[in-house]
Structure 1
Amino acid sequence: MAATNWEVTFEFKIHGQGNLYGDGFAMWLTKQRGQPGNVFGHTDKFEGLGIFFDTYKNNRPGTVFPYVMAMSGDGNTAYDKDNDGKANEVAGCSARGIRNSPNPTKARLTYFQEQYLRLELQYKSEDEWTQCFEIPNFKVPPVAYLGFSAETGELSDNHDILSVKSLNLYKKTPGAAPASGSPGGKTASSATRAKSHSGGGSWSWFFIKIVLFGLVITGGYVGFTIYRTRQRDRF
């Protein structure tokens, strides 16, 4: 991803039959391509952003799991796996009910360069978004690789990524209407999502011009034929 401002929405499903399960999955936006490792299936000491959907509690007293947290990797700092990333957490939230939810489970990550990074979750009910966190003045690598990984150990679970959608976001011009779909008309209302433009109108106009050109040629030919016939009749 090389856009300055963007939004990534993905649908996922964490599910299984057992009462003991783990460990969770992660979303990555890193400077280097992802490699297999021991941080939710990704290599440790990464450079960039990791968002961890942690379903197994190792050692975080007072924290309700599943837990979702963000870590900003500098390329040198290791993930605090024994304490479920407590030493690395930039922001996070508990998401009880996100596993085996009867509703579609989605996450929406919105980024405005040097302004904020915001994560919203949908799992309580369809089309109901809950803000997990918003981090001001957060920096993501200007060119980042987007990826997902998951990890199981002695315990297992199913971690499915069902769909991923990314959009570029643009600043609105003064006087423009609020962006549709922005939550509560808050910060996101100062931007508009990029729209895909269909080329159908251009092709239609092209074909109309071809037809008009054909009619002009046909009319000219008919007129010339009539004129030539009349000239012959005169002589």
Structure 2
Amino acid sequence: MLFKELLYLVALLPVGILAALDDKAKLANRTIDRTVSLRTHSIYPPYIDQDLQNRWWDFGGDAYVNTNKHIRLTRQVPSQAGWLWSRVPLTASNFVIEVEFKVNISGDNNHLFGDGLAVWVTKDRAQPGPVFGSKDQFEGLGIFLDTYANSRHPYAFPRITGMLGDGKTSYDQEHDGEQNSIGACSANYRRTNVATKLKITYLRDQYLNVKIHHKAWDEWTDCFTVRGLALPLAPYVGFSAMTGDVTDNHDIISVTTYSAILSSPDAQRDKLSGASGKRVSASGGGGGFFSWVLFFFSLIGKLFLAFIAFAIGVQIYRWWIMRQTNARIKAAFGPGGTYFQDAKRF
């Protein structure tokens, strides 16, 4: 009787294991093991060579280079637009882009400022237009550091907003990109006491994370995370800025791009943050309901396994008690003593 029950419980173990398979999938997440700097997509002072050019980058529009300080995309002058673009596409499947920038005005701090700065990871390059100095209906990723609100919002400005362009959809200029947003945060990166930086981490078709450095040294703040996002293959990296009736100095101090080397599927080092980020693709959509279904079955599987372990423990304990009792009876009555095989018969 005892062994039949044990065999029955053991036979049910695979059912509980199958119900909890999503936990195994979570443990299989790959993470960044190390990074390799990419000279082709990085730029630092003095920015240009003796021929007043850069082998890997182009700049144009109203942008100009101060070799000791920055690449100024726009000055504090109305109706300016400038850009900085990589000359070659970024072929790394997984990458990290860290850009140090500065947005400020000279003189009166009460002056109205705008319009903003954009970071691009797109299929096309160096095409001026109305979206922070670059073309509309772009294909790829645009991250907009917007300093001027065109309409009323419940959140504060400056605002960092991400948009995944499909080559057909226009940027929602009237509402500051609210209709196109895949993620956003408010961050006062103007006139800070520390270097202002933006860090973009992308794992192909899996993960996008944007962080901002503006509060204190070596303190990065998560802005937004998106899972399941796919960018065009071999995109260009670019930066652009624009002023309108309101103005600002928009400066790029440095750009550092890394190729991200992923760990093996079983390694669990340097876990990526933002596990609660939403899942989107170029056509939009989310996976909230499916995630809840997986969570429910995972919970049921865990409870089922716990019950099986408890039942097996109870059966083993009963078997051990019967064995000890039989041993005592045998010692008391001798080899001919009375035995019992089941506690219910005692």
Aligned twin of 2:168: 76
**Structure 1 contact 116–138 (Cα < 8 Å) conserved:** yes
Amino acid at match of 2:235: A
Give the greater-gyration-radius structure (CA): 2
What is the distance in 2 between the residues matched to 1:99 and 1:112? 30
Deviations along 1:94-142, one digit per CA (max 9) or x if unpaired, are: 01x2011111000110001111100011000110000000101011111
Aligned twin of 2:137: 45
Aligned twin of 2:232: 141
Given candidates 183, 187, 198, the residue that maps to 2:272 is 187
4+ runs of 1 displaced by more than 2 Å? 173-178
Aligned twin of 1:108: 199
Given candidates 79, 100, 103, the residue that maps to 1:14 is 103
Aligned twin of 1:34: 126
Larger CA deviation: 44-53 vs 18-27: 18-27
Q: Which structure 2 segments of 5+ residues have no match?
A: 1-89, 274-346
What is the distance in 1 between the residues matched to 2:236 and 2:259? 15
1:172 aligned onto 2:257: no
Amino acid at match of 1:112: L
Amino acid at match of 2:244: G
Residue 173 of structure 1 deviates from its aligned partner by: 3.7
- Percent pairwise identity: 45
Aligned twin of 1:65: 157
What is the distance in 1 between the residues matched to 2:155 and 2:265? 44
For the aligned residue pairs, the C-alpha RMSD in angstroms reads 1.5
Q: Which structure 1 segments of 5+ residues have no match?
A: 179-184, 189-235
Residue 176 of structure 1 deviates from its aligned partner by: 6.4
What is the distance in 2 between the residues matched to 1:152 and 1:173? 46
Give 1 or 2: higher strand fraction. 1
**Local SS of the residue matching 1:42:** coil
Deviations along 1:154-206, one digit per CA (max 9) or x if unpaired, are: 0110110000000001112478684xxxxxx4327xxxxxxxxxxxxxxxxxx
Q: Judging changes above 3 Å, is the alpha-carbon distance between structure 1 residues 165 and 76 closer, same or farther for their aligned structure 2 residues?
A: same
